[in-house]
Structure 1
Amino acid sequence: MSDLLAITGARIFDGYDWHDDAALLVEFGHVAAVVPSSAIPARSETALLSGGMVVPGFIDLQVNGGGGVLFNNDPTVESIRTICAAHWQFGTTALLPTLITDTVEVNLAAMQAGHEAVQQGVPGFLGLHLEGPHLSVARKGTHDPSLIRPMDEADLARLVALRADLPNLLVTVAAETVSPRQISALAQAGIIVSIGHSDADTATVSAAFAAGATMATHLFNAMSQLGNREPGVVGTVLTTDHVHAGIIADGIHVHPASLQIAMRAKTSDGRLFLVTDAMSQTGTDLTTLELNGRTITRSAGALRLADGTLAGADLDMIDAVRFMVTTIGVPFEEAARMASLYPASAMGIEAQYGHLRPGAVASLVHLTDDYRVASTWVAGQEVHRA
């Protein structure tokens, strides 16, 4: 068996450019090159695809669950493995299992699960996203207000220690709940700090960005809005060039016109990228799920608490890409980047993720011409075929 695999038979979009009549060469789980079909090395094995297109694997930085598992309800390495695998059929090849506001004990269990996922090399596991508990009660969304609290020194020390144990760590905090000093300490430890579930004014948010926060969590949702005299979190994110922002592109969480406005604003170093905010229903026919003792109902493309509050999203990544193309009118190449290259850039891992140029991890999606997932590959291994 050869260590070199040539994937051919489809157009190849490497995250930057298209390659026709070409082959993607994969060696030891990484991209070796893209070469003309006529130049495929004789020693390589060949995977012949039936048309369509090969694109970089999708990267989802906000995934609460999948495959019937909610990370909060079962913060174990087995849950991480299930969640990662559940999203393969939708083109997601790398993700951050996301823990929303919970008790210290649940947070500690999630941290241990992340450590074990690294040790076991769980395919598709990119690190952890801890969304809370250091948020604003005024912008709690579906987070349990009884569990929201300020960050203390023990919390800070735990997060810094956790970062040393994980390949990537993202934390969502409210700008008014976590101080610039704490944000600076997190950032200096290599933690990506995202502002979300925040009711802060623009001065407070700007101070958080100056201290080292570089991201915003599900833009427009659970944050102070853009006003005529006070830009709030939304306006500050849109006018701070280096700040990236995740967005839920389902037509429910954000109006298409608002999404288009954000797209036009985020064209500098900081970009808009797609997240699913998926819960345990992804990849299943579940119609209800439980979170912190409350029931979430799945109906009409949305997940809601009994009072109507949105509770995560009934969305997968290929549907988000398709929504950007068919509803928002974004060129496919840009929609693909929003699901791969831009989240990789937001996490600072674009050297190896988010594209298919030499040296990148060979995680990719084979799509049909109408943007359906035909197969998914993680680090050079086919993990899903429709």
Structure 2
Amino acid sequence: MASATQFINCRQCVSGSLISAPLTIDSKGFIIPNFPLSENTQIIDLENAIISPGFLELQINGALGFHFAHYSDPASYQAGVNKLAKYLPKTGVTGFYPTVPTVSSSVFKQVLPFLKPTENPGSASVLGAHVEGPFLAPSKKGAHDAANMHIPASSTLENIYGEKNLRESIKVLTMAPELPGALDHIAQLTKQYEVRVSMGHSAADYKQGNDGMKAGANLITHTFNAMNPLHHREPGLAGLISDPSPPYFSLIADAIHLHPRIVGIAYRSSPSHCILITDSIELSGLPDGTYPGHAQIPFNQFKEGNKVTIENTNTLIGTCIGLDECIRNLMAWAEIPIQEAVRCVTENVADAMGLKDRGRLEVGKRGDFVVLGVDGVVKETWILGKKGTSGD
């Protein structure tokens, strides 16, 4: 067995630039210095390919027919999580935050123990849960169930999620900062539980968004969607993205949730704080066609390409885009090369979430990387220095 593997003839995506340098990964799957090399180091020639750190997905609701909010029994739920983790490297994703929308407290407590950070060989890492609700503005509920929404001032975090889940499973939580008691919850989440707070599904004005950041929030969820529009006299949450010290902000670059020009404008407002997400639903990865609804969507669902609507209507349910396609869209819409676009699914996510072990191709970090064409097409995904699923 080789003591290390050195990848040569590769161009690494580093902070928006392409750097020609080898990448060396030890037998445990972590990046080590390129020199000196032990005698039994395996050499792999990548033939001038572009390599990026493994992609990090901050918001995904499901895929392959499985939704993180739908629980029937422990075995089938765990199998669903594992199936997604095995599937996602096809799109270049090596770590993800399974997202649970607004559900009852009992459902949160059923599913969250299965979403704490975990590793399986050859699979994307489960990085912990992204909880989207229930502290959201009913006027900006989108597809969320208003019947399960709560006012922060009248509900404790522990009662809603369970203290153990706050400590072990939840890593990011979307909340409307203007709700009564929200600022206290934001402060408690960030200081006591070290949970990142993202502002979204919110009718907050610009000042209320600023107050949320002062309380500890450092993200905005699917910017422009489920919030007040940017207005020349009242910029709202979206106005924060061009501040001198902006929050990190996520965008759904699918041409369904946002116009391509808006994506370009938002990216250029702060390339170092822009994050691409899919926010994809459970029909992602499935063939086009009609599918049955579920508890949240009690109608047949019609999937055509990335777009899912209620059957025989134009009512949007969600998107099925992959994170690799979001990158290619950003490249086209902002007119930027692949090395700049991948920051929005690697370094920026790691910085927003305080991840120390991934997001950059640096000594000491995980040997997770994606081999890419200049067009942003995923050719190979490597996890801990081992070749995983091909993107072909």
TM > 0.5 between the two? yes
Q: 1:293 to 1:317 in 2, by over 3 A?
A: closer
SS at match of 1:355: coil
Pick the aligned partner of 1:53 from 43, 50, 54.
Answer: 50
Structure 2 alignment gaps of length 5 or more: none
Count of aligned positions = 377
Q: Does residue 222 of the first structure (1) align with residue 221 of the second (2)?
A: no
Q: Tell me what 1:382 maps to.
A: 387
Q: 1:34 to 1:223 in 2, by over 3 A?
A: farther
Q: Does residue 184 of the first structure (1) align with residue 181 of the second (2)?
A: no
Q: Distance in 1 between matches of 2:203 and 2:332?
A: 33
Structure 1 alignment gaps of length 5 or more: none
Structure 1 residues 74-83 or 138-147, which shifts more?
74-83
Give the aligned residue type for 2:378: V
Contact 1:200–1:224 under 8 Å retained in 2: yes
Structure 1 residues 8-17 or 243-252, which shifts more?
8-17
Q: Tell me what 1:142 maps to.
A: 143
Q: Does residue 363 of the first structure (1) align with residue 361 of the second (2)?
A: no
**Superposition pairs for residues 1-386 of structure 1, below 5 Å?**
1-15=1-15, 17-20=17-20, 22-27=21-26, 28-34=28-34, 41-74=38-71, 76-115=77-116, 118=118, 123-151=124-152, 152-156=154-158, 158=161, 161-166=164-169, 169-177=171-179, 178-188=181-191, 189-239=193-243, 241-267=245-271, 271-285=273-287, 287=289, 288=291, 290-291=293-294, 292-295=296-299, 296-305=301-310, 308-349=314-355, 351-385=356-390, 386=392
Q: Distance in 2 between matches of 1:123 and 1:228?
A: 42
Q: Distance in 2 between matches of 1:279 and 1:289?
A: 13
Q: Distance in 2 between matches of 1:96 and 1:262?
A: 23
Post-superposition shift, 1:123? 4.2
Q: Distance in 1 between matches of 2:281 and 2:223?
A: 18
What is the CA deviation profile of residues 276-300 of structure 1, one whole-angstrom value per residue up to 9, with x for unaligned ones?
Answer: 1111222221533534243432225
Q: Distance in 2 between matches of 1:23 and 1:120?
A: 27
Contact 1:30–1:360 under 8 Å retained in 2: yes
Contact 1:51–1:368 under 8 Å retained in 2: no
Structure 1 residues 364-373 or 245-254, which shifts more?
364-373
Post-superposition shift, 1:99? 0.6
Post-superposition shift, 1:101? 1.0
TM-score (norm 1): 0.89
Give the aligned residue type for 1:245: F
Q: 1:40 to 1:11 in 2, by over 3 A?
A: farther
Give the aligned residue type for 2:276: L
SS at match of 2:316: coil
CA RMSD of aligned residues (A): 2.4
What is the CA deviation profile of residues 95-145 of structure 1, one whole-angstrom value per residue up to 9, with x for unaligned ones?
Answer: 000011111121111211124x63878742111101111111111111122
TM-score (norm 2): 0.88
Post-superposition shift, 1:234? 1.3
What is the CA deviation profile of residues 180-210 of structure 1, one whole-angstrom value per residue up to 9, with x for unaligned ones?
Answer: 1111001102000001100122222221111
Q: 1:175 to 1:369 in 2, by over 3 A?
A: same
Q: Distance in 1 between matches of 2:286 and 2:112?
A: 26
Contact 2:2–2:40 under 8 Å retained in 1: yes
Contact 1:101–1:148 under 8 Å retained in 2: yes
Contact 2:113–2:165 under 8 Å retained in 1: no
